[in-house]
Amino acid sequence: MIRPKTEEEIALMRENGILVSRTLAEVGKMVAPGVTTLELNRVAETFIRDHGAVPSFLGYDGFPAALCISVNDVVVHGFPSDYVLREGDIVSVDCGTFYKGYNGDSAYTFPVGEVDAQTRKLLDVTKESLYRGIAAAVAGNRIGDIGHAVQTYAESFGFSVVRELEGHGIGKNMHENPGVPNYGRKGQGIRLIDGMTICIEPMINAGTRNVYLARNGWAVHTEDHAKSAHFELTVVVRKGQAELLSSFDFIENNVKF
Ligand code: MG
Ligand code: MG
Q: What is the pLDDT of residue 1?
A: 76
| Ligand 2 midpoint to CA 220 (Å) | 14
CA of 208 to the centre of ligand 2 (A): 22
- pLDDT, the chain, mean: 97
> Which tens digits make up the pLDDT trace of 219-245?
999 999 999 999 999 999 999 999 999
pLDDT band at 253, cuts 50/70/90? confident
Question: What would the pLDDT profile of 9-18 be if each residue is shown by its tens digit?
Answer: 999 999 999 9
pLDDT for the residue 255: 56
How many A from CA of 29 to the centre of ligand 2? 22
pLDDT recorded at residue 257: 45
How far does the centroid of ligand 1 lie from the alpha carbon of residue 55, in Å? 12
Do residues 204 and 161 lie in contact, with contact meaning Cβ atoms separated by under 8 Å? Answer: yes
Distance 122 CA to ligand 2 centre (A): 20
Inform me whether the pLDDT recorded for 256 exceeds 70: no
Tens-place pLDDT, residues 64-73:
999 999 999 9
Supply the pLDDT for residue 3: 92
How far apart are the CA of 189 and the centre of ligand 1, in A? 22
Q: How far apart are the first and last CA of the chain?
A: 38
Residue 107: count other Cβ atoms within 10 Å of its Cβ: 26
* d(CA 41, ligand 1 centre) in Å: 14
Alpha carbon of 172 to ligand 2 centroid (Å): 14
Ligand 1 centroid to Cα of residue 20, in Å, is: 10
Q: What is the Å distance from ligand 2's center to 169 Cα?
A: 9
C-alpha 203 to ligand 1 mean position (Å):
11
Mean pLDDT in residue range 199-224: 98
Q: What is the domain partition of the chain in residue ranges?
A: 7-252
pLDDT of residue 254: 62
Compute, in angstroms, the gap from residue 213 CA to the centroid of ligand 2: 18
What is the pLDDT averaged over residues 110-130? 98
CATH topology for 7-252 is Creatine Amidinohydrolase (3.90.230)
d(CA 19, CA 27): 12
